[in-house]
Amino acid sequence: MNTNEIRKKFLEFYGKNGHAIAPSDSLIPSGDQTLLFTSAGMVQFKKHFLGQIKLDFTRAASCQKCLRTSDIERVGLTARHLTFFEMLGNFSFGDYFKQEAIAWGWEFLTREAGLDPKRLYASIYEKDDEAFEIWRKIVPADRIIRLGEDSNFWTMGPTGPCGPCSEILFDRGEKYSQDHKCPGPGCDCDRYLEVWNLVFTQFDRGADGKLTSLPQKNIDTGMGLERLNIVINELESTFETDYFQDIIRETKKQIGEGSSVKSLRIVSDHIRASTFLISDGVLPSNEGRGYILRRLLRRALRQGWTHGKKEPFLNKIVPVIVADMKVQYPELSERESSICAIVETEEKNALATIESGTRMLEDEIRKSTGQGVLKAPIGKIKLSGEKVFNIYDTYGLDKEIQREIVLDLKGELDFSETDYEKARAHAAQTARKGWKGSGEKEIIFHSQLSKKSGGNIFRGYETLETQSKVLVLVQEKDGKPTEVAELKAGEEGELILSETPFYAESGGQVGDKGFISHPDDKFRVEVLDTQKPVEGLIAHFVRVTQGTVKTGDAARAVVDAASRAHIMRHHTAT
């Protein structure tokens, strides 16, 4: 059975048993501020569980797209960890409870999915005698395991619906016990794989941590589609499932047949997650959801980079993902071309900085270890929080990637997160201060500038990148904005272009960020902010990172796709 067939079988089975089939919700939970991403099938039903809305149905089933990033570092290292996955689930809102949930779960796995009943085990919450009695009629007592609150009491976060749970595990055989003597179900090795989690959602946990009984008893179950596929088809790893085989084939084509298993897994998982995130309206940025997306893309990109792939390639894998999954998720094909474009822009931006950032970090490591040529293991590398921020700020190599570079050399990066945050806050403040002097003097200065230059043309609604020309450069001298002929590496100032794709701050929306460079790389400047000091004039506040920029120079202006979040979101919403 392939992925599509398994998903269909599941939904048909629960449909036949009176469940309304709910479409997957977005990865951005609709109307739920407490969660960054949809992490389980039950998220879209929170209000149903809490009895906060009138119910059109009391049983539902779904296949929900989910994202969990808590184990991001383990992706690639194990056979089963993923960030994005699909979760099959059935739900009861004050309708059926433990008896039916367990019986149907068993029937589906043994009859529909064809799993060998002798290889299935059940775990229950240690105090849940009711669940024990129900399981007892299905499997011998020695295949029912009582476990503690840690593993068998499900909560979705610090607050919200929760309750004791019962997991169904599948014994994949001794060869998966790895190198240790497996104590049995409940062990974290790959042998007894947890396939399905049946949660008996009876409580609501308040902000004070207290549990209150819900007005009704509910069922919330969740089963990873990819995991179910592994056990049905007796595969070694998630990455052997049909969808992943296609993605891995394309990844090999892009970064080389001989790439490491770890890299192939990281790339294929992360680009799949990124494709779905962008199709749900997330754009790369330095904060919140956008930061997670940026991290996934950069982490994947670096895998290619370490295998010698120094040009964008992730965007070429997107169409394979869309082709496999568009029947279930039609939003993918509707947005395919913009997903590819956003991934490619992010790749170009990241590649420009990854090399120099890595070099700078390696210099720091050399200083710290005293080694001329870096040889693993390099041990603990202590850097100041300010230095780590500095590498990020100048080269865009975020702290997590810096950690991974050190980890790849079998070392551990040690720095103060507090100092890092202080340096970040300070840099943000300085950038704003350098910019925001808009007193009367500045307004007069900019009005004159606007008249003289004839203003500039805004291209940002059609494109994120334009060829343009540097019209005016401005630097603050003696506290006054002053026109200058050039800005050198390390200097900051204002840059005005003949045409620009950069969107200026207005109506509470922040201005675009990105970079402007000479077509032959004679200079490169980072755009830290974009403002409209007077109507008709868009000014970029920049820092020169390479070469010298002069008025009259040809320029290529590229907006960081992330800073377009507001416009994209608006489009998506409409």
**CB of 548 vs ligand SER, minimal distance in Å:** 56
**CB of 44 vs ligand SER, minimal distance in Å:** 12
User: Roughly how many angstroms between the first and final C-alpha of the chain, as a whole number?
Assistant: 39
Residues binding ligand SER (CB under 6 A)? 40-42, 89, 154, 197, 199, 220-222
Torsional class of 281: left (φ above 0), alpha (ψ -120 to 50), beta (otherwise)? left
Query: Is the Cβ of residue 40 or residue 544 nearer to ligand SER in the bound state?
Result: 40
**Which residues is 192 bridged to in the sheet?**
171
**CB of 156 vs ligand SER, minimal distance in Å:** 6
**CB of 45 vs ligand SER, minimal distance in Å:** 10
**CB of 177 vs ligand SER, minimal distance in Å:** 24
DSSP 188: S
Query: Is the Cβ of residue 46 or residue 272 nearer to ligand SER in the bound state?
Result: 46
Query: Is the Cβ of residue 90 or residue 368 nearer to ligand SER in the bound state?
Result: 90
Q: In this structure, are residues 94 and 66 in contact, taking their beta carbons and an 8 Å threshold?
A: no
**CB of 195 vs ligand SER, minimal distance in Å:** 11
**CB of 491 vs ligand SER, minimal distance in Å:** 52
Give 73: exposed, middle or buried? Use CB within 10 Å, 0-12, 13-18, 19+: middle
Query: Is the Cβ of residue 62 or residue 468 nearer to ligand SER in the bound state?
Result: 62
**CB of 40 vs ligand SER, minimal distance in Å:** 3
C-alpha to C-alpha distance for 239 and 259, rounded to whole angstroms: 15
Query: Is the Cβ of residue 220 or residue 494 nearer to ligand SER in the bound state?
Result: 220
Query: Is the Cβ of residue 220 or residue 336 nearer to ligand SER in the bound state?
Result: 220
Buried/exposed 75-110: b ≥16 CB within 10 Å, e otherwise: bbeebbbbbbbbbbbbbbbbbbbbebbbebbbebbe
Nearest residue to ligand SER, scored by beta-carbon proximity: 222
Q: Output phi, psi for 151, to 5 deg.
A: -105, -25
Give 338: exposed, middle or buried? Use CB within 10 Å, 0-12, 13-18, 19+: middle
**CB of 167 vs ligand SER, minimal distance in Å:** 9
Cis amide linkage into residue 377, ω under 30° from 0: yes
* The pair of three-digit structure tokens given for residue 399, joined into one six-digit string: 């702290």
How large is the angle between the packed helices 242-255 and 288-306, nearest 10 degrees?
60
Cβ neighbours around 236 below 10 Å, total: 12
* The pair of three-digit structure tokens given for residue 567, joined into one six-digit string: 């416009």
CA 467 to chain centre: 31
Query: Is the Cβ of residue 121 or residue 154 nearer to ligand SER in the bound state?
Result: 154
* The pair of three-digit structure tokens given for residue 191, joined into one six-digit string: 């042998």
Q: Output phi, psi for 120, to 5 deg.
A: -100, 140
DSSP 407: H
Query: Is the Cβ of residue 152 or residue 259 nearer to ligand SER in the bound state?
Result: 152
Query: Is the Cβ of residue 166 or residue 285 nearer to ligand SER in the bound state?
Result: 166
**CB of 161 vs ligand SER, minimal distance in Å:** 9
Query: Is the Cβ of residue 38 or residue 345 nearer to ligand SER in the bound state?
Result: 38
